[in-house]
Structure 1
Amino acid sequence: MQVIIRADASSEMGTGHVMRCLVLGKDLVEFGADVAFICRKLPGNLIEKIENDGFPVYEVSDDRDGAESTAILSTFPMVDWLIVDHYELDRVWEEKVKHLAGHLLVIDDLADRPHLCDVLVDQNYFPHQEKRYESLVSEHTVKLLGICYLLLRHEFRQTERKRQGPVKKVLLSFGGSDPTNETMKALEAIAAIPEIEIDVIIGAANPYYQELKAYCEKQQNIQIHYQINYLARLMSEADIAIGAGGTTTWERIYMLLPTLTIETAANQSEILAQVAKEGLVCHLGKSEQVTSKQIREQFLLMISQPQLLAAMSKKAETFREKIDPLAVARFIMKGES
């Protein structure tokens, strides 16, 4: 079976689309499929990482009209599945390439544009989820909706959270790019709090890496981790996290890790509001409206209430039980569209 994945990463758009597609790609390879990627070489791209993970990458320069992807797809004798995970691509692009693949699967969570696809995957948790795509896809489109279809990285499937008791270790993680430098804002808020250790995660697309590295090296209680593959272990060792929304929201919930969240992109708004309503996170709001002072005050309040942290972890357990990380890959391999 030949699978082609169309996804991009950059400092501006972040790395989440490519990272979750890598999860799916690895699962499909383990099931016996051949997988390749089509990507634009944008600033902060993850093409080198994709190749290092063992996948061929075909580069395109623009591709908004689908011409470059069409040319690449046409070189394959047969493409069984074309998978698209991209906020800038919609039905217009899909119409131009769909005839070149046996099945077209779209990964989305915005529900803000029409799609021409056989299968639509939205791995997030929304009330009335079915209705979000009613007018955006055909009645024949198979919709795989909800956290049961979460594309969870392999490292999380094999790791259990270890920490309990008073807060001693904090995890800061604002995704692969963090264009507004929320990491520094959070560090300034909590670095001076006594008797805590801080693990700071920095992605390769983060434009503030050198500034953050210099800051962290001056602090004895801060350890910086750059473009790592052991985030699950750090989550398992943490008592509390501070971070953004996106896919990592569900990774923290899966690890039962209480979290203070800040919205860093518009597409995170609905998801963070919903998980906060469910008591799974404590949400501060949009990044431009959140100050270091607010982060510090809310953080101190949370760590002074161990019963609150325990309740957040307990609620996360009910969501973790619903997750089947292999559900999408199994569906594709069965060809049930």
Structure 2
Amino acid sequence: MSKQNTVLIRADANAVIGSGHVGRCIALAQEIQGRGDRVIFAATELGGMRSRIEAERFEIVDLPATRGSREDAEMTGALYSENQASWLIADGYEFKEAFQRGLEAAKVRSLLIDDYGQLGVWRSQFVLDQNLGARQEHYANKTPDARLLMGSSYVLLRREFRNWKNWKRAINNPARNLLVTFGGGDAREMFERVVGALALIPPHTFNVVFLVGPNPGDLSSLKQSIVDRGLQVRLEADTPNMPGWLTWADVAISAAGSTCWEMCYLGLPAIVFALASNQVNTAQSLFDGGAVKYFGDSMDCSPEAVSSELLRLATESKERERMSQAGRSLIDGRGAQRVAELLFAAYVRLRPVTASDSRLLWEWANDPEVRKQSFTQETISWPVHDSWFQSRLAESDTLIRIAENQNGDSIGVVRFKLSEENAVVSISLAQQFRGLGLAATVLKCALQELAQTIPVRDISAYVKPENLSSLRLFERAGFVCKEQTRVKGQAAMHLVLQN
């Protein structure tokens, strides 16, 4: 069985800071849990997000400390050590230098999630900024070995959204279903402004739903405003079915927070407002990308302007279709998968093969499962193997790499046969390291090294049709089947890496 890793997540939620930090950590936690690993959330407060974390069956540890303090770092470090965690993921703008130095002292390996360089200093192994406008200059004060993960390819979407990957949006004309949402915090003032805008629109123009988050504050005044204006508005609190509402809607009004990425993924055109300083760049970049209409901050939310834009956009079906397509083109939904793969890819490194590896490779080559899946199934004698191996070492058209884990154990081999601008790749893992999810990491590392060192146009692999695990491995790495062919008289699938 594979060793279960433990990942500690440090994030908070309340009515002021909202639920976005915890929400995107849940997306990454789902991916990590799906790998068979353990996830623990550590928090000073969670508000209404506690029930969501509990629903996912993640563990929760409450920290009696001031967020981002040295005491917070000490408690977090102790929790990391007690649970023999592999990684700490920290998401919050209070986790600044003092907190990070406390983690360093506790020898914590960490990934810091940030937006446009809010933290100011980054003393970690990874820094993640999923925003379109993220730039290296935002992170000039990172440690030299901290790896930056930037841009929308790393957007952390919860798995309930990824289930809608192949769903196609119908662009209704006119738009009838209006969704209004301003994140997980207390946004009563913004909802009141939208109520004022709806009062200027003829009755029954829109079917309206207000989605309030898990920390909305007292809603009695908002409910009374809706009644006093004679509006028909459905109020949904802390919905467990966000994808359902985003696919129901034809158009939305939203804050430029995490929900924007969810709307883009599902192609929902929206009018957005920046309700915090860290949302300004997100709103502007999404507007520049054609996915939203950016209306400024909360003070720019005048009832007259909002009602006018809503009525105009409702009848502009072609414009909404362009916005929908632009949004969907920005996000492929695989951000959490990419981050999880990188976290655990740290356990694999490649080294050049040496003459002393000959016997090891001979033993691996004669493993019964390897022989079964080979195009030549006979047992290989030592003289035949060693002669082949020595000739390959002398050839410039063969690239062989040995994969090692963090303990320096040799876990597998990757071989590239080079011919002009083409390469054929093969991969094999030692029997005791199979089934641990390592093959994908080994293959990915090898492909990256090849791309960085040798100019190759096409990369192929040949796999027996019945070797389903290898077929899945190459497909996940981006290979597609070009043709069915034969190799040494046996049926083979010719796979080619898509650029």
Q: In structure 2, what is the equivalent of residue 97 of structure 1?
A: 103
Q: In structure 1, what is the equivalent of residue 194 of structure 2?
A: 186
Instruction: Tell me whether 157-166 or 291-300 shows the greater mean CA deviation.
Output: 157-166
Q: Does 1:291 align with 2:302?
A: yes
Q: Does 1:281 align with 2:292?
A: yes
Change in Cα spacing, 1:54 to 1:66, as seen in structure 2 (3 Å) is: farther
Instruction: Tell me whether 288-297 or 20-29 shows the greater mean CA deviation.
Output: 288-297
Q: In structure 2, what is the equivalent of residue 111 of structure 1?
A: 117
Q: In structure 1, what is the equivalent of residue 90 of structure 2?
A: 84
Match of 2:143 among 138, 150, 160: 138
Q: Kindly indicate whether the alpha-carbon contact (under 8 Å) linking 1:147 and 1:323 is maintained by their aligned counterparts in 2.
A: no
Uncovered stretches (5+) of structure 1, i.e. residues with no partner: none
Q: Kindly indicate whether the alpha-carbon contact (under 8 Å) linking 1:202 and 1:209 is maintained by their aligned counterparts in 2.
A: no
**Equivalent pairs: percent with the same residue?**
23
Q: Could you report, residue by residue, the CA deviation over 1:195-234 in whole angstroms, capped at 9, with x for unpaired residues?
A: 3101210112111423334455786742221111111111
Q: Distance in 1 between matches of 2:152 and 2:347?
A: 20
Match of 2:52 among 31, 49, 55: 49
Q: Provide the secondary structure at the position in 2 that maps to 1:74.
A: helix
Match of 1:124 among 113, 120, 131: 131
Q: Provide the secondary structure at the position in 2 that maps to 1:12.
A: coil
Match of 2:207 among 194, 197, 200: 197
Q: Distance in 1 between matches of 2:125 and 2:310?
A: 45
Instruction: Tell me whether 63-72 or 200-209 shows the greater mean CA deviation.
Output: 63-72
Q: Provide the secondary structure at the position in 2 that maps to 1:299.
A: helix
Change in Cα spacing, 1:307 to 1:333, as seen in structure 2 (3 Å) is: same
Q: In structure 1, what is the equivalent of residue 30 of structure 2?
A: 26
Q: In structure 1, what is the equivalent of residue 450 of structure 2?
A: none
State the structure with more CA Rg.
2
Q: Kindly indicate whether the alpha-carbon contact (under 8 Å) linking 2:274 and 2:296 is maintained by their aligned counterparts in 1.
A: yes
Q: CA deviation at 1:28?
A: 0.7
Q: In structure 2, what is the equivalent of residue 312 of structure 1?
A: 323
Change in Cα spacing, 1:49 to 1:328, as seen in structure 2 (3 Å) is: same
Q: Provide the secondary structure at the position in 2 that maps to 1:326.
A: helix
Q: Could you report, residue by residue, the CA deviation over 1:231-276 in whole angstroms, capped at 9, with x for unpaired residues?
A: 1111111110111011111111111111001111111001111111
Q: Kindly indicate whether the alpha-carbon contact (under 8 Å) linking 1:4 and 1:36 is maintained by their aligned counterparts in 2.
A: yes
Q: Provide the secondary structure at the position in 1 that maps to 2:262.
A: helix
What letter is aligned with 1:15? S
Q: In structure 2, what is the equivalent of residue 154 of structure 1?
A: 159
Q: CA deviation at 1:183?
A: 1.6
Q: Distance in 1 between matches of 2:146 and 2:193?
A: 43
Structure 1 or 2: more strand by fraction: 2
TM-score computed with the length of structure 2 as normaliser: 0.63
1:158-169 mapped onto 2 (5 Å cutoff):
158-159=163-164, 160-166=167-173, 167-169=175-177
Change in Cα spacing, 1:130 to 1:86, as seen in structure 2 (3 Å) is: same
Indicate the structure whose relative CO is greater, using CA pairs within 8 Å and at least 6 residues apart.
1
1:224-243 mapped onto 2 (5 Å cutoff):
224-243=235-254
What letter is aligned with 2:121? P
Which 4+ runs in 1 deviate beyond 4 A? 214-220
Instruction: Tell me whether 208-217 or 268-277 shows the greater mean CA deviation.
Output: 208-217
The RMSD of aligned alpha carbons is 2.2
Q: Kindly indicate whether the alpha-carbon contact (under 8 Å) linking 2:255 and 2:274 is maintained by their aligned counterparts in 1.
A: yes
Q: Could you report, residue by residue, the CA deviation over 1:166-188 in whole angstroms, capped at 9, with x for unpaired residues?
A: 10111111111144521221132
Q: Distance in 2 between matches of 1:222 and 1:45?
A: 23
1:172-183 mapped onto 2 (5 Å cutoff):
172-179=180-187, 181-183=189-191
Q: Distance in 2 between matches of 1:297 and 1:33?
A: 50
Q: CA deviation at 1:314?
A: 2.1
